[in-house]
């Protein structure tokens, strides 16, 4: 008498991850099972159900809208960068044409006021104030010794060669814009020269978000380079 072993079957429920892994490993699955593809119905956000193909079309449409928005943002950034590049180019031409320090300072002030639409701006140079007594540009131009105690609030910034953007302390704001300190919401501090050895340019805006720590500082660095080289010529 012979005996035959009965096959044992494991009734193991497939996990969702197993199904996902299988579909990912066999991307042609639905091509080989087209009938299944057409019969699948998925819940729709607006109610009811749609086919898998319709759902895929909806997902692709949403992705397309997202890509269009990203493309629009890139175009806007490129256009803004083009405008800034033109303004920096114009400033460079004006600085090259300046025959003395007075004309150089006038070119920088005009660029800040008209070209870059600054609400407030001040150019701080380091040196002996007595040597610049013949230059009068009102609140825009200021000469002070680098070790002036009044510059204490800027001590950390003066050790760097990198522009800083954002909201500044009241003591810094009062020093730079004493007559309009409360109107300034954000400021860009642009060092002039290596380790700010020439001075610095402060650009203020009434908009608290105009200058912020996350913004690109490339164009500010270029402005600083141009202004510092132009000043050193004289």
Q: Are strands 141-144 and 199-205 parallel, antiparallel or unpaired?
A: unpaired
Please report the pLDDT score of residue 10 as a whole number. Answer: 45
Please report the pLDDT score of residue 108 as a whole number. Answer: 95
- Residue 191 vs residue 132, higher pLDDT: 191
Supply the mean pLDDT for the chain: 84
Q: Is domain 98-232 given the CATH code 2.60.40.420 in the classification?
A: no
175 has a pLDDT exceeding 50: yes
192 has a pLDDT exceeding 90: yes
Over range 165-180, report the average pLDDT. Answer: 91
Contact 51, 40 (CB under 8 A): yes
Please report the pLDDT score of residue 111 as a whole number. Answer: 93
Which H or E run includes 204?
strand 199-205
Q: What percentage of the chain exceeds 90 in pLDDT? A: 44
Please report the pLDDT score of residue 57 as a whole number. Answer: 76
Over range 173-181, report the average pLDDT. Answer: 90
* Residue range(s) of every CATH 3.30.450.40 domain in the chain: 98-232
Q: Which of 222, 229, 200, 197 is nearest to 98 (CA)?
A: 229
Over range 180-196, report the average pLDDT. Answer: 92
Q: Which of 226, 18, 24 is nearest to 108 (CA)?
A: 226
Q: Which of 136, 69, 61 is nearest to 105 (CA)?
A: 136
Over range 8-32, report the average pLDDT. Answer: 72
∠ CA 104-106-111, rounded to 5°: 95
- What is the number of other CB atoms lying within 10 angstroms of the CB of residue 114? 11
């Amino acid at each position: 008498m012979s005996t035959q072993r009965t096959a044992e079957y494991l009734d193991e429920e497939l996990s969702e991850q197993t199904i996902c892994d299988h579909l990912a490993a066999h991307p042609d699955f639905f091509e080989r099972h087209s009938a299944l593809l057409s019969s699948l119905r998925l819940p729709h956000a607006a109610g009811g159900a749609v086919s898998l193909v319709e759902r895929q079309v909806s997902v692709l449409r949403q992705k397309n809208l997202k890509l269009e928005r990203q493309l629009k943002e890139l175009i806007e950034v490129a256009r803004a960068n083009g405008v800034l590049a033109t303004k920096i180019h114009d400033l460079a031409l004006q600085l090259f044409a300046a025959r003395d320090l007075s004309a150089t300072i006038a070119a920088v002030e005009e660029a800040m006021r008209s070209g870059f639409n600054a609400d407030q701006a001040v150019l701080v140079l380091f040196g002996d104030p007595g040597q610049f007594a013949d230059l009068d540009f009102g609140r825009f131009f200021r000469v002070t010794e680098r070790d002036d105690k009044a510059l204490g609030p800027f001590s950390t910034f003066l050790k760097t060669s990198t522009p800083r953007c954002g909201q500044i302390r009241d003591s810094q704001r009062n020093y730079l814009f004493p007559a309009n300190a409360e109107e300034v919401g954000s400021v860009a501090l642009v060092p002039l020269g290596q380790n700010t050895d020439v001075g610095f340019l402060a650009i203020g805006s009434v908009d608290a978000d105009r200058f912020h720590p996350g913004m690109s500082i490339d164009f500010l660095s270029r402005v600083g380079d141009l202004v510092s080289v132009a000043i050193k010529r004289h």
